[in-house]
């Protein structure tokens, strides 16, 4: 079983739609959680951290469910510019950082 | 603005060649990382370094070595390139102390697409 698993997609949604991605992790002792965004042929960049209480940044909402060991990312009112691959990132502790393989999102006009 | 630069965007090498990939960051970050990214597998950590001349193996160090002689520079070395090392190589840097959640961020370079023939 992979340490971090994501649905690879692709998710194809129209502009204005709401879309949600989930990511499961296997190490129950994991400490920190993040979502990174990677545009086609570009490097990953931090989108947002995921806090235990859940957090929101504009149209983006991240949630953590420790009991079920998953994190989620919700994108409301999707824009064409949201088209990208979204990487789930988990830090079990120390230096180790585990990246998921990513979920591809295509937002269409 | 944090900048991480990598020496080449594209590289083609022959099997058995020694390959050097260079990475430089300008933010005085303590941590530096080398990953490879392959379709369906995500980013996998090859090596990281938390200080000059210090290095730690990641998940897939076999066939690779690293060098960090200066804080801003972290080199990845393929001692004898093989076709299964054809991949996208990404360098990243970050501050040493994670502090509060949300402070941590790894800054990535643009990547080097290496093809070994």
Per residue in A28-78, pLDDT tens? 888 889 999 999 999 999 999 898 888 999 999 999 999 999 999 999 999
Report the pLDDT value the prediction gives residue A44, as an integer from 0 to 100: 95
Report the pLDDT value the prediction gives residue B97, as an integer from 0 to 100: 57
Q: For residue B110, give the chain A residue with the closest CA.
A: A43
Residue where the block lists tokens 């269409």? A108
Q: How many Å apart are CA A31 and CA B63, to the nearest integer?
A: 31
- Please count the residue pairs, one from chain A and one from chain B, whose beta carbons lie less than 8 angstroms apart: 46
Distances (CA, A) of B25 to A6, B101, B108: 30, 23, 9
Q: Min CA distance, A102 vs chain B (Å)? A: 7
DSSP three-state, residue B111: coil
Q: Are A84 and A96 in contact (CB under 8 A)?
A: no
Residues 35-74 of B with CB under 8 A from A: 35, 40-45, 48, 50, 56
Largest Cα span, chain B? 45
**What mean pLDDT do residues A74-99 have?**
91
Report the pLDDT value the prediction gives residue B7, as an integer from 0 to 100: 92
Which two three-digit tokens encode residue A85? 């691959």
Residues B40, A44: C-beta atoms closer than 8 Å: no
Q: How many Å apart are CA B33 and CA B91, to the nearest integer?
A: 6
Report the pLDDT value the prediction gives residue B101, as an integer from 0 to 100: 43
Q: What are phi and psi of B89, to 5 degrees?
A: -110, 125
What are the strands, taking DSSP E only, across B1-117?
4-6, 10-13, 19-25, 31-38, 42-49, 56-57, 64-70, 73-78, 87-94, 107-108, 112-116
Report the pLDDT value the prediction gives residue B41, as an integer from 0 to 100: 87
Contact partners, residue A58, CB within 8 Å, separation at least 6: none
Report the pLDDT value the prediction gives residue A102, as an integer from 0 to 100: 94
Q: For B93-115, write each residue's pLDDT tens digit.
A: 988 755 444 446 889 999 999 99
Report the pLDDT value the prediction gives residue A51, as an integer from 0 to 100: 82
What band does B42 get if pLDDT is binned at 50, 70 and 90?
Answer: confident
Residue where the block lists tokens 């379709």? B39
Q: Are A32 and A49 in contact (CB under 8 A)?
A: yes
B34 lies within 8 A of chain A by CB: no
Q: For residue A43, give the chain B residue with the closest CA.
A: B110
Report the relative pairing of strands A70-75 and A55-57 from DSSP bridges: unpaired
**What mean pLDDT do residues B18-44 have?**
93
Q: What's the CA angle centered on B100, arms B98 and B103, to 5 degrees? A: 60
DSSP secondary structure letter of residue B106: P
Report the pLDDT value the prediction gives residue A2, as an integer from 0 to 100: 81
């Amino acid at each position: 079983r992979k340490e971090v698993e994501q649905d690879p997609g692709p998710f194809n949604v129209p502009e204005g739609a709401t879309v949600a991605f989930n990511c499961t992790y296997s190490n129950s002792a994991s400490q920190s959680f993040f979502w990174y965004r990677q545009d086609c042929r570009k490097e990953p960049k931090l989108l947002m951290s995921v806090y235990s209480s859940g957090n929101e940044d504009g149209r983006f909402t991240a949630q953590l469910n420790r009991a079920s060991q998953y994190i989620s990312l919700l994108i409301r009112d999707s824009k064409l510019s949201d088209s990208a691959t979204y990487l789930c990132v988990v830090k079990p502790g120390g230096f180790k950082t585990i990246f998921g393989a990513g979920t591809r999102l295509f937002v269409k006009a | 603005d944090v900048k991480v630069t990598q020496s080449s965007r594209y590289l083609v090498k022959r099997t058995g060649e020694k390959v050097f990939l260079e990475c430089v960051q300008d933010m005085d970050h303590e941590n530096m990382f080398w990953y490879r990214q392959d379709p369906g597998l995500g980013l996998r950590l090859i090596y990281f370094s938390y200080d000059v001349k210090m290095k730690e193996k990641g998940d897939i160090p076999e066939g690779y070595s690293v060098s960090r002689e200066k804080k801003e520079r972290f080199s990845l070395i393929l001692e004898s390139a093989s076709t299964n090392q054809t991949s996208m190589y990404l360098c990243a840097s970050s501050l040493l102390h994670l502090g509060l959640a949300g402070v941590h961020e790894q800054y990535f370079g643009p990547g080097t697409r290496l093809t070994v023939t």
